[in-house]
Amino acid sequence: MNRKRPIHLDLFRIRLPLPGLVSILHRISGLLLFLALPLLLLLLQYSLLSIETYTQLVAVLQLPVVKVSLIILVWALLHHFFAGIRFLVIDMHIGVGLPQARASSKYVLFLSVGLTLLAGVWLW
């Protein structure tokens, strides 16, 4: 047994396995979506209020900082969706072995980043 275990856990020095990274990113993406939901609902309300507020909102959505924020939210949505499906499948005791867990983590990251890049090209 390895006796050289860390006394304190420095999260910036620990090298997480890929399934652990996907799990933490799932939590972060869920938090981002939760925090962005009131703002997105407010934007929806403004877009439906009148044609003037809609055109103002379209102008605001053309700003680069807003586009980058939307791309981050698209990543959060896609990652949370695919990682959630992965966790539901794991809850059914499918793919619980280490090789399957690593492979499904790679698929989640590949799909979320790949589709985010496609959405980013479309948004920009």
**Region of residue 95 (phi > 0: left; psi between -120 and 50: alpha; otherwise: beta):** left
Q: Is 13 part of any domain?
A: no
Q: Is 12 part of any domain?
A: no
Structure confidence by residue, pLDDT tens digits, 89-98: 999 999 999 9
80 marked as part of a ligand binding site: yes
Q: Is 27 part of any domain?
A: no
Half-sphere exposure in the Cβ direction for 86 (13 Å, CA): 25
Query: Angle at which helices 51-61 and 64-91 pack, to 10 degrees?
Result: 80
Cβ atoms within 10 Å of 80's Cβ, excluding its own: 21
- Residue ranges making up the domain that contains 103: 36-123
| Confidence label for 2 from pLDDT (cuts 50, 70 and 90) | low
pTM score: 0.87
Q: Is 87 part of any domain?
A: yes
CATH classification of the domain holding 64: 1.20.1300.10
Structure confidence by residue, pLDDT tens digits, 42-89: 999 999 999 999 999 999 999 999 999 999 999 999 999 999 999 999
Q: Is 109 part of any domain?
A: yes
Distance, CA of 82 to CA of 2 (rounded, Å): 35
Q: Is 48 part of any domain?
A: yes
pLDDT of residue 87: 97
Number of domains in the chain: 1
Please answer whether residues 77 and 35 qualify as being in contact, where contact means their C-beta atoms are separated by less than 8 angstroms: no
Q: Is 21 part of any domain?
A: no
Distance, CA of 114 to CA of 60 (rounded, Å): 26
Q: Is 45 part of any domain?
A: yes
Sign of the dihedral defined by the CA atoms of residues 37, 38, 41, 43, in that order: negative
Distance, CA of 98 to CA of 13 (rounded, Å): 23
Give phi and psi for 6, each to the nearest 5: -70, 140
Whose structure tokens read 């059914």?
92
